[in-house]
Structure 1
Amino acid sequence: MARSHWLSLIGLAVLALAVVAATILLPTPGLATIRDNVRGTGLLAWGTFLLLMVGATQLPVPRTVWTVSAGVLFGPVVGSLLALTGMAVSVTLSLVLLRWIGGPAVRRAERSPRFRALQAALEDRGWVAVLGLRMIPVIPFSLLNYACGLSRIPLLPCVLATIAGSAPLTVAVVASSDVLVSGGEPWFLMVSAVLAATGVVLTAGEWRRVRAELSVEPTPVKPSP
């Protein structure tokens, strides 16, 4: 047992040394070369990026990785379009899958009058809360998708609110990533702070409105004589 343990450690050490040696000795293409190669594949690169982004954002993986990658690889215009398209497809897929899988559990939970009232409020104006939350960078993209999927927020307003709320910061991050590659200075932090504050205000206002509606007791209906 001890011998196999030592052999495993030696094998890992040799593998680590091989990786380090390859990193140092083998030629590594520059970022400009990588960008040119990616852009040279055209639609294939776009489709591959979208497929990977949509698949990865179904999991609790930071979306910022893909937004930055879009700017670095495709530039500000194409990168912004790809990042926003990927978000729209991702949120659509998340909502469809979650409502298909979790539909029975949600319907059982709606036997509670308060939960049913909350769902009615979200169905009416939940898109405003989505719009505000998408402006806050620290709100995980996939987790908010899960919450929307278990609510009765209509699909189209939810997708449109996602695009509208995410677009300003997404474009800023994509453009900044492209500028940084060219040696510029980052400027999206101020945009991020302003959008986050706006999102907090919108979300807080909607939450107060929903709480006020839920706190109103329904008026009992007297039976007809």
Structure 2
Amino acid sequence: MARSLQKISIVILLILSMLIAPLSSLAATQSTFQSFSLLSKSGGTLVFQWPSITGATALNIEQKVSGGDWTEAELDSGPLAPTDVTATITGLTAYTNYTFRLDIVGGQYEGYSNELVVAIAAIPVADLTFGDVGASQLELKWTAPENATNVIVQQSTNNSTWSNSIVATFLSSASSEAVVTGLVGNTKYYFRLYVVGGSNAGYSNVVTTTTGTEPNARRWR
């Protein structure tokens, strides 16, 4: 009787070991990818990076806002290739907290990566450009900022020391262009916007040009 019980125990142990072994092997080969990271952040533009993932057959980046559902992120370069190791996301909303993760298909790390929480603050104006440029005045254009309380044009001759520009007409918080006057001909200038309040608060991109040598009388009416 004792010998029979011993044989039964051995059989049970063998069966259990056969069931546990595959699970142990799976646990050893499947693990969470923890190397998804933020490489850079500039306004509403984020660049993510991760090391090459051996065996992956597809990659996606997913995002969500607080209390929202996961959705596939729209990447600047389109869908990711399995061999990609970086991705850029733009068009995010100011004053919003986002969570991102990498969705991995195939390979040792199949599943979701670690999650990254990124807070997007104000997104400064990034499309300041020139219109007409004359000797003593020039035109600047930009996309009107959202919910701003003030917009100021600033200028510099060395991209270091800045002063407020003289503009031909009053700038409102919703202005999208300005004519800067009082400039010196044949001089290199740098220009930027300073936006107060709203989603685009802060300094814009900097643009530079050299004023002309001919009078502006016929160009500016």
TM interval, short-chain normalised: under 0.3
Q: State the structure with more CA Rg.
A: 2
The structure, 1 or 2, with the larger RCO (C-alpha pairs under 8 Å, 6+ apart) is 1
Question: Higher helix fraction: Structure 1 or Structure 2?
Answer: 1
Question: Higher strand fraction: Structure 1 or Structure 2?
Answer: 2
Q: TM (normalized to structure 2)?
A: 0.24
